[in-house]
Copies of this chain bind each other. A is one copy, B any other.
Amino acid sequence: MNQKKPVPNPDDPRLSREVEGVDELGHPKSIKVIEERPLTIYLNSQEIVTAMTIGDYPEYLALGFLLNQGMLKATDQVTAIDYDEELEVAVVRTTSPTNVEEKLEKKTRTSGCAVGTVFGDMMAGLEGLELEDTPVNTSSFYALSYKVNHTPSLYMETGAIHGTALCQGEEVLAYMEDVGRHNAVDKIAGWMHMNGVSAADKVLYTTGRLTSEMVIKTALMGIPTLISRSGFTAWGVDIARQVGLTLIGRMRGKKFTCLSGQHRLIYDQDLNLVVDESDKMQRKGARLG
């Protein structure tokens, strides 16, 4: 229940470890690799899912996952989030049983696949949703991109990890990393909920691809702008257009591509002032992710 601004902590010894091997010549080589561990998330007494995570901010991850899956409504009263490090379990508790628990109860008596309902629920959450029509300055994209890529991070230490930053104007409010790009977004959602942070004037920046699930999560969080260094999927674009999300991809150096919600962009950046990414500065893993 950390109230301070969360940023990556590359020095946390629980999050990475030095591993010995060899290089292409057979010479000993030791590199730092990211940890990956299971976290089983419960909603009250109902086991929901086991996520693979680096293991920081388990409470935010559990809460954000349930919110983003539509399993927990913003109006549900969360009374506690209990995390047991040894058992690798996080339990989100509410005052009264949620709608989802009843649904799962029913579902398990029929087809037996509780998690099969999840995607349908997420899509249902989008019905009638229209995001705030907040104008957004392209100059902030360049500023945020620079900040995120120059913040000390586990990515820089170990690679093989994704980052997501919640931003307002040119400020990064929270920056989460995880082996699963969805986990990083879920942690942001959990942090926002626990700190009562509003969404309509925010921008979400991710290093991951703009898949349907990433777009759905952003929309359900109420954030009207999503930016990525990586590419798009067609369905992700379709959903963004449906809910009025401004979707920016392939953002590197001077360049970006906007495939949805372009009417909200204010082109206030003098592109002559933007440094094109040199190879050394380039965040590796730009278009995939």
A interface, CB within 8 angstroms of B: 16-17, 19-26, 29, 31, 33-38, 40, 46-50, 52, 104-105, 107-109, 111-116, 119, 138, 158-162, 179, 207-213, 230-237, 250, 254-260, 262, 265, 267, 269, 271, 279, 284-289
Contacts and interface: CB of A to CB of B under 8 A. Distances in A.
B19 A119 contact: no
Contact of A112 (B47, B208, B212, B279): B47
Contacts of A230: 159-160, 285
A33 B39 CA distance: 33
Nearest to A207: B288
Given A24-B256, A104-B113, A179-B233, 10 more contacts: A24-B254, A47-B111, A50-B119, A52-B213, A108-B108, A108-B114, A114-B115, A160-B230, A285-B288, A285-B289
Given A19-B234, A287-B285, A109 B111 contact: no
18 contacts: A16-B234, A21-B260, A24-B256, A24-B269, A25-B267, A31-B259, A33-B231, A33-B237, A34-B231, A35-B234, A47-B111, A52-B211, A52-B213, A114-B114, A114-B116, A160-B230, A160-B232, A288-B289
Contacts of A29: 257
Contact of A33 (B31, B37, B116, B233): B233
A262 B268 CA distance: 53
B116 A235 contact: no
A149 to B, nearest CB: 13
A24 B272 CA distance: 12
A288 B236 CA distance: 20
Nearest to A274: B24
A259 B19 contact: yes
B19 A237 contact: yes
A33 B113 contact: no
Contacts of A16: 234
